[in-house]
Structure 1
Amino acid sequence: MFNQTADNPSLRRIAIVGSGMSGLTVGLQLKGLGHTVTVFEKSRGPGGRLAAKRVPSGSVDIGAQYFTARNPDFLPFLEKYAGKGTFTPWQGRLAYQAPSGEWEPFPEEARFVGTPRMTAITRALSANLNVVTETRVGRLARTDNAWRLYDTEGVSLGLFDQVIITAPPAQARDILASSGLPELASELDEPVGKVLPCWAVAAHFPTSPWPHHDGMRCQHPALYWVAHNSSKPGREDAGQWWVLHAGASWTQKHVDTAAPEVAELLVEAFREVTGFQTGPDDVVAHRWLYARSEGGEQPGHLWYPQHDIGLAGDWLSGGRVEGAFDSACGLVAEMHAASVTP
């Protein structure tokens, strides 16, 4: 049952750790139910893996490259809270490389991107919430019927009736372990091992290095995914920016390799795939320690009513951007059902 925080005993003060798609979805839905919501984000701005890097001509998507909308509630949610102008369909020509080396088209499906960058969506969603940035939550401490949050420097962040953690499982496990909740932390041991790292490199070419596809799943020991970022709507680049995502095994072998060397190696891999000769004339590298989940048990979300703690994230629901939304919706539905049960 919800504890009393105001005249209405069903309203609560809720802290959310992480401002990616799952954290913002949880926050907006709980706020819509009348709760007081505060979102804590360790970075300078919201977004999670809906991330973009600034480059001279604009920006490049270095995290999630696009998203689907198989859940009929997803696009209406984005339209309501982010606005129709923050995303649009991407008619990219996508292909995967068969073991034979031949290119086969992706299945037909509506795919969407943020405009003019992926972060446009989460920036707009976050404008409807109280988001405290550049604040890394370190631990929780029980005080009567509430949780007091502390940052990693030991500074109190306030009292909350419930805490929702939407950080990657490794970071969520650290918070739970530091909060005297070893039994909850241990439940994340397996998911931590299932979340894979990824090196991402954005490379600029004065001329097209590959005119045949806009996104490619590669059969290469280094490259997992390649995308023509400048083909996405709203990108007005001189020349072309391409995004190169390394495979998980390759990234694990090079997780501590210097970024310039990683960029050189992945560009060479791209050259081997495409055969281009000109460029690139600019590169930007980014290391994702927690990128996509390779599977395992995915219950959708985790809710511990005896502790007033919940977990949500794409790693709990298929690993896609839409999975983050689905996970958040499932968690809020369970929380709300518990609050109205006599």
Structure 2
Amino acid sequence: MTNHQNSQCSDIRRTAIVGSGLAGLSAAILLKQQNHRVTVFEKSRGPGGRLATKRVAGGSADIGAQYFTIRNPAFRSFLEKNAGKNCFGPWQGRFGFQQPDGGWQAFPDEERYVGIPRMTAVSRALASNTDVRAEVRIDRMARNDRGWFLTDTSSRRYGPFDHVIVTAPPAQTRDLLANSGLMNLASILDGPVSAIHPCWAVAAHFESAPVAEFEGMRPHNAVLSWIANNSSKPGREDPGQWWVLHATSQWSAEHIETPADKVTDAMLEAFREVAGCAAMPDQTVAHRWLYARSDSDDRPGCLWFPAEGIGLAGDWLSGGRVEGAFDSASALVTTMTR
């Protein structure tokens, strides 16, 4: 009896995950199902990653990922089982993209999903049964004969762990690996780091609807890459309407150090031009994403270094979409547990 219990305990792997976006939470849940003891470390106050929401007067606005697709049946099954069917649903909006001549066409027909009542509902539901240590920024790692030990920016130490999974953006992942003396792994990320681009986001509230034709738009514009009526998403019961604007990667890079108020003014001016309206918002919130989108064609799905016991996962490794974060985590867990 005692020997059997000891054998079971020795089979339990201890895994640390850095980052509680969808990739980190998916990996944590999938590994728990494989009898791993998992601890997730998150530098912010709560989980989410790209599934980000800003609290605003009267409600919230999704300033990160605007929606997600479910092309992989395993992703739907995962969400329904681990987050619940009520925390996400289809966004029945009208979507259009603008051609160079100024004309508009409808998006290809595809179901698009959002968190309900906000995008963070998905990540918070997934995190509810996961050991997430919030407001812990892991700064470096070191391994001895007992395993990996992680140290945060306040010099607190965690461990030991058999494996470490990092799901942060490539620039932050490279810094962590370099700080840990893993230069051979850090150098692998030089290419992915250069392929990640920033994005300015602005949420603007209007007392009355400024645009009627579409709820989501991809304009042909030098400043804006995306415009959406956030209040049209299911579960949002905002007085008036909150609209979310995303700037193009090039414009964002050119204005990466521009003050937020000037960025907001320029993006609203572009919005009025695209929408053909003179409406002025009564509230605005700006957010700068330093690591928003990858344009790399190298999509290995995940990276696993068995000699070190270190894995990397994230949407940047699998096409850049929200669903890609799950695909990347799933691929990594499969590779680790073969």
With the length of structure 1 as denominator, give the TM-score of the two structures.
Answer: 0.96
Residue 286 of structure 1 aligns with which residue?
287
Q: 1:156-209: CA deviations, max 9, x gaps? A: 122111000000000000000011110100000000011110000000111111
Residues 7-43 of structure 1: per-residue CA shift (max 9 Å, x gap): 3343211000000000000000001111100000000
Tell me the SS of whatever aligns to 1:122: helix
What is the rounded CA distance, in whole Å, between the counterparts of 1:157 and 1:24 in structure 2? Answer: 19
Q: Does 1:220 align with 2:229?
A: no
2:312 alignment partner in structure 1: 311
- By how many angstroms is 1:285 displaced? 0.3
Could you say what secondary structure the match of 2:268 adopts? Answer: helix
SS in 2 for 1:216: strand
Residue 107 of structure 2 is matched in structure 1 by: 106
- Aligned pairs for 1:120-131 (under 5 A) are 120-131=121-132
* Cα distance change of structure 1 residues 112 and 309 upon mapping to structure 2, 3 Å threshold: same
Q: Distance between the aligned counterparts of 2:331 and 2:226, measured in 1?
A: 30
Aligned 1:5-24 pairs, distance under 5 A: 7-8=7-8, 9-24=10-25
Q: Where does residue 54 of structure 2 map in the other structure? A: 53
**Secondary structure at the residue paired with 2:15?**
strand
Q: Which sections of structure 1, spanning at least 5 residues, go unmatched?
A: 338-342
* Structure 2: distance between partners of 1:274 and 1:59: 23
Q: Is the 8 A contact 2:229 2:241 kept in 1?
A: yes
Does structure 1 residue 321 correspond to structure 2 residue 302?
no
Deviation digits for residues 190-230 of structure 1 (CA, Å, limit 9, x no counterpart): 00011110000000111111100011111111101111100
- Aligned residue pairs, count: 333
Contact kept in structure 2, 1:314 and 1:323, CA below 8 Å: yes
- Are 1:233 and 2:238 an aligned pair? no
The answer to whether the 8 A contact 1:163-1:310 is kept is: yes
Alpha-carbon deviation of 1:278? Answer: 2.1
Indicate the larger mover: 144-153 or 233-242: 144-153
1:94 aligns with 2:106: no
> Could you tell me how far apart the structure 1 residues matched to 2:300 and 2:21 are?
19
Task: Please report how far the alpha carbon of residue 145 of structure 1 lies from its aligned counterpart in structure 2 after TM superposition.
Answer: 4.5
Q: Which moved more, 1:40-49 or 1:142-151?
A: 142-151
SS in 1 for 2:280: coil
Displacement after TM superposition at 1:150 (Å): 0.3
What residue number does 1:274 align with?
275
Q: Which amino acid aligns with 2:273?
A: E
Match for residue 186 of structure 1? 187
Paired with 1:6 and 1:241, the residues of 2 have a C-alpha distance of 56
- Structure 2: distance between partners of 1:112 and 1:19: 20
Q: Which residue does 1:31 correspond to in 2? A: 32
Q: Provide the residue aligned with 1:340 in structure 2.
A: none
CA distance in 2, matches of 1:281, 1:6: 63
> CA RMSD for the aligned pairs?
1.1
CA distance in structure 1 between the aligned counterparts of 2:321 and 2:6, rounded to whole angstroms? 37
Note the C-alpha offset of 1:275. Answer: 1.7
Which runs of 5 or more structure 2 residues have no equivalent in the other structure? none
The residue identity in structure 1 corresponding to 2:106 is P
Q: Contact (CA 8 Å) 1:195, 1:294: kept in 2 or not? A: yes
Match of 2:261 in 1: 260
Q: Match of 2:312, as an amino acid?
A: L
CA distance in 2, matches of 1:27, 1:189: 27
SS in 2 for 1:29: helix
Structure 2 counterpart of 1:113, which letter? V
Q: Shift in Å at residue 143 of structure 1?
A: 1.2
SS where residue 64 of structure 1 aligns?
coil
Output the TM-score relative to the length of structure 2: 0.97
1:53 aligned partner, one-letter code: K
The sequence identity of aligned pairs, in percent, is 59
Rounded to whole Å, the distance in 1 between the matches of 2:124 and 2:179 is 30
Q: Which amino acid aligns with 2:240?
A: G
Partner AA of 1:135 in structure 2: V
Whole-Å Cα distance in 1 between the matches of residues 47 and 76 of structure 2?
A: 19
In the superposition, relative to structure 1, how do residues 259 and 206 fare at CA in structure 2: closer, same or farther (>3 Å)?
same
Q: Shift of residue 153 of structure 1?
A: 2.9
Provide the secondary structure at the position in 1 that maps to 2:292. Answer: coil
User: In structure 1, what is the Cα distance between the partners aligned to 2:326 and 2:57?
Assistant: 32
Whole-Å Cα distance in 1 between the matches of residues 68 and 41 of structure 2? Answer: 24
Tell me the residue number matched to 1:117: 118
Q: Could you give the per-residue CA deviations for residues 250-307 of structure 1, whole angstroms, max 9, x where no partner exists?
A: 0001111111111111001101111211221110000000101112311000000000
Amino acid aligned to 1:317: S
Conserved? CA contact 1:11–1:34, under 8 Å: yes
Kindly indicate whether the alpha-carbon contact (under 8 Å) linking 2:146 and 2:160 is maintained by their aligned counterparts in 1: no
Q: Secondary structure of the equivalent of 2:200?
A: strand
Rounded to whole Å, the distance in 1 between the matches of 2:287 and 2:39 is: 29
- Separation (CA, whole Å) in 2 of partners of 1:313 and 1:19: 11
